[in-house]
Structure formats: structure tokens, C-alpha cells
Structure 1
Amino acid sequence: MDHARFAAFAGTLADAARAVTLGAADRVAENKNEDGTYDPVTAADREAERVIRALIERAWPDHGISGEEFPEKIGAGRFVWSLDPIDGTRAFICGLPSWTTLIALLDEGKPVVGLIDVPTLDERYLGFPGAPGLKASECRTLGDARLATTDVHIFSAAERERFDRLRTGARVTRYGLDAYAYARLAVGSIDLVAENSLKPHDYNALIPVVRAAGGVIGNWRGEDEYREGQVLAAATPELFEEAVRLLGA
């Protein structure tokens, strides 16, 4: 397949999403959940996904589409687009710059093209086999690592205890970056990211970006399987393996 062609199209989708999200005057959020937990969504989330979907349906009518805000469209072939129009909606509604747009193309269920767009900072990270411009650090030990996670308060008690093994061993830990942490790992300024409670639209775009940079991404057991929502990304295999040992039950 022509990865570069699809990556260029993903950039077109991100441009269209920026036209919606950067100009959004109304950042009031409503809660999608009815169980008391908070999962915010804004009008910009929904409108950006509508715009992206329309472009995909026009250019690739046989492709499937799986987005955060609307029901899945079943395609006629092997390709499915995974969309998260605003990842980090909490940052978005607070006027912080770290929210992103996540776009991925899956081939037979495997993410092969990933895009992390950071509209407020005018940064874009494109990952696919042979993608240029990305390079993870050479950090091999936890003691030298710059660690990130979005919010430790969504960890279960057991997960928090396991994450603390990383935190206490790392050189520095930063919080609140959402998908932007993986983008920074792909250019060498973050070395390790450990998160939980992620859904497919949260992690599909991250996988090709991290791997194109030479990094390693999997779950907390070191597997290439994410159904439990636990994601671990590291700059090097050595650092990944050390983190897996510490996150082990």
C-alpha cells in the first residue's frame, strides 16, 4: 500500500479539523456519561468529526470509519479510519495548548498510518513505515528517563501502586499531556509514557507514530494488544523491558 499517499490525506483531514477547532468560540462541554464519571464533549468535537467523516466518505467511500463521537461506519474493504477529533478535551475547555487531533488508518485492523496534530502549537507528527522526521531518544534506563502520564487519579489502586514503581525510579515525571506525550516521545523529549483507560480512538494513531520514531509501544505486559486500555510506550527496547518488569503484577 502507498503509506505516504494515505499519510498526506490524513494531513488534509487534520487541516480541515483545525479549521473547526482553532476557531471554536464555544468551548462549553457537556458530560457524555450518565454514571457520574466525567467524560466531556464539546460542539467542536462533534463538528470536527463530521467534517473529517465527510472528506473520507467523498475520497474513499468504501473505507470504514470509527470515531469517538458518532456510530461506526462499516466499510466494504480492508481499510478503516480511526478518529478522535479532540483528544484532551479537558485541556481544550481549559484553554491549554496540549490537546490534539488523532487520525489513524487501519489495514485489516492494524494501525499503519498515524497522525498526532497539535493545532494550538502548530505541530504535526506523522507516522508510517519509512516516515521521515521522527526519532526517539536513546534512553535505555529508567533512572535517566523522562516519564509522562496524563492523570494518576484515573488509575485503580493496584495500577497506581504499579505506576509509582516507575515514578519513583524515573529522573522526572510530567502530567496532563494526553496524546501529546507520545508525540514528544517520537521526537526525543519524553522517554516513557504509561497510561490506562484508553480506547481504540485514543491509541490507534499513537502506534505508528511511536514505531516510526524507533520507539516501542505495547501494553503493560509488553504485548501488542490493548483491549484493557493500558498503553506503555518507550524510546528503546531496553527501557520498555525495564518498565514492563516494574509494571508487572
Structure 2
Amino acid sequence: MPSLAPDLPARLALAQAIAREAGAVALDYFNRRDTLVIETKRDLQDVVSVADREVEELIRARILAAYADDGILGEEYGLQSGSSGFTWVVDPIDGTSPFVNGMPNWCISIGLLYSGVPVVGVIFAPCHDEMYAGGLDMGATLNGKKLTLDPSRNIRNAVTGIGANSHVTPATVAKIVEDLLTAGGNFIRNGSGALMLAYVAAGRLVGYYEPYMHAWDCLAGYCLVKEAGGWYHVFPTEGEKLTKGAPVIATAPGAIDDLKAIAGL
């Protein structure tokens, strides 16, 4: 685990300020989404718009203006290497499908790695005006209120979030649902993995599992969950692995063993 960098509180404050500014831009687009030209990427469910690109450009510009030597990985524009040991990991609008379809389940996700470990996590949900923020050894908050997970909650007395996409087979997703229900749990999926990870940190969900997810979707949420007292399955961050997908699991203490079993870990 890396030691606390001297300027980590300043980086956390910057991430919150950027997320709020980016959220305002995204919310403006959301409120006039009928004017957006929607494009598809891998399949018809994997969509992107000018809003995603403009918001990421804004986030990158603000970060590099303050920390020119930092690296940045964003969903829309890829990896720009740095020399400081810090790499920002950004999803400008996580939950683009809900976004373009008029649902509020989307967010701005800004994470920060230091020596490969998530050390800052900021997730801002503009439609709810909710700012989730956390930093290594600094705890996690929701709109300034400290988040602390309840160890008595598990998959049987709380709700679990799951994610699915075209990277995994329908049979795989069906088996996850079957195993979770058989174990006495229940689930939701709201279309934004990053936001559901924030909900784990806030205790709204007891855990989140997605068998294939990208770094920009999960690393901010990982930091939040850890700082709230939870656990996460380490995401590979070495070299090119950072740009590839991997299984993502984050849970409150009482759900660790059950979700590990469901994921086959």
C-alpha cells in the first residue's frame, strides 16, 4: 500500500471541483438530450454522444492544468501516460444508456491511482446532487457526511447490485442471478456500475459484482468502498492491463464470502 502522498487532499479537492463542473455540463446536455446525436460502439446497447466526449475533454483539461505530469485514462480518449506515479481514471458519463433514455441513473466518475492503488475516488450524480468522495486513509463521504458500512448486512438481509454487458454470455449472467437468488439474496441493476459501487460505499447496496468491467467504471468506486470499511477484488493496473476489462467485486464486510463464492473466487 503506498504511503499517503503529501498533496493527496489537494487532489481529492480538485477531483470534487472538476466532477461538479463536469456534472453541470453533462446535466445541461441531459436536459436537452433530444438534440444529441447518439452513436454506437461495440453493439447497439453500447452508446456514446458528444456529451461524453465534451465532458471528458473538460476533465482532462482541468487535471492537466493542475498536474501536468500525471497520467490520465479515460473511456473516450484512452491512456495518456505521465511521469508522476499518479494516473487519473475517468468515466465522463457512466450510465450513458440511462442518460440518453432520460433516466437519472448516471454519474461522473473520477478515480486516481498511485503506484497502481486507488487513492482517490469521486463519483458525482448530478440528477440527485450527490457527491461521493473518498481518499486513502481519509475516509469516504456523501455530501460531506461520513460513510461507515454496517458489518451486520449481508446478501440475505440487503440488496446486491449486479452488472452485465456483451462481454459476457447471457448464460453467465443467468448463473449469477440464479446463484444469488439461491443463496437467499436479491439484486438490482440500474445501468451505471460506478453509481452502484457508490451505493455500496453508502450502504444502499451490500455489494456489487460484474464479471467484466473497465477501470474507468470501477476504480473511483473501489476507493470509496474501501474507505467506508468495505472490501474489493483487486483490479489489474500493471501496464496495458489497466486498459483491459476484469472482474469487479466490491462488498460490505458481511457479504465478502458470499459474493466471492458466487464469483468463483
Fold shared per TM-score above 0.5: yes
Match of 1:195 among 210, 226, 236: 210
CA 64–247 in structure 1, closer or farther in 2 if over 3 Å, else same: closer
C-alpha distance after superposition, 1:173-221 (max 9, x if no partner) = 2122422211111111211211122111111111101001101111xxx
What letter is aligned with 1:88?
Answer: G
Where does residue 150 of structure 1 map in the other structure? 163
What letter is aligned with 1:184?
Answer: Y
CA 225–152 in structure 1, closer or farther in 2 if over 3 Å, else same: closer
Measured in 2, the distance between the counterparts of 1:58 and 1:91 equals 31
- Structure 2 unmatched ranges of 5 or more: none
Q: Does the 8 A contact of 1:146 with 1:170 survive in 2?
A: no
Match of 1:32 among 41, 65, 73: 41
Q: Does the 8 A contact of 1:138 with 1:235 survive in 2?
A: yes
Where does residue 184 of structure 1 map in the other structure? 199
Q: Does the 8 A contact of 2:23 with 2:125 survive in 1?
A: no
Where does residue 250 of structure 2 map in the other structure? 233
Where does residue 14 of structure 1 map in the other structure? 19
- Structure 1 unmatched ranges of 5 or more: 219-223
Measured in 1, the distance between the counterparts of 2:216 and 2:87 equals 11
Q: TM-score, normalised by structure 1?
A: 0.88
CA 194–139 in structure 1, closer or farther in 2 if over 3 Å, else same: farther
Report the alpha carbon displacement of residue 242 of structure 1 after superposing the two structures with TM: 2.1
Where does residue 173 of structure 1 map in the other structure? 187
Report the alpha carbon displacement of residue 81 of structure 1 after superposing the two structures with TM: 0.9
CA 13–150 in structure 1, closer or farther in 2 if over 3 Å, else same: same
Where does residue 221 of structure 1 map in the other structure? none
Report the alpha carbon displacement of residue 32 of structure 1 after superposing the two structures with TM: 2.1
Worse-matched range after superposition: 16-25 or 142-151:
142-151
C-alpha distance after superposition, 1:50-73 (max 9, x if no partner) = 111111111111111111111322
What letter is aligned with 2:67?
Answer: W
Report the alpha carbon displacement of residue 88 of structure 1 after superposing the two structures with TM: 0.5
Q: TM-score, normalised by structure 2?
A: 0.83
Where does residue 10 of structure 2 map in the other structure? 5
Measured in 2, the distance between the counterparts of 1:40 and 1:104 equals 22
Q: Does the 8 A contact of 1:137 with 1:191 survive in 2?
A: no
Match of 1:208 among 189, 208, 223: 223
- Give the length in aligned residue pairs: 241
Worse-matched range after superposition: 160-169 or 50-59:
160-169
C-alpha distance after superposition, 1:45-104 (max 9, x if no partner) = 000011111111111111111111113221122111111000000010011111011101
What letter is aligned with 1:144?
Answer: N
2:138 aligned with 1:130:
yes
Identity fraction in percent: 32
CA 60–99 in structure 1, closer or farther in 2 if over 3 Å, else same: same
Following TM superposition, the consecutive aligned residue runs of length 4 or more in structure 1 with deviations greater than 3 angstroms are: 150-155, 225-228
Q: Does the 8 A contact of 1:215 with 1:235 survive in 2?
A: yes
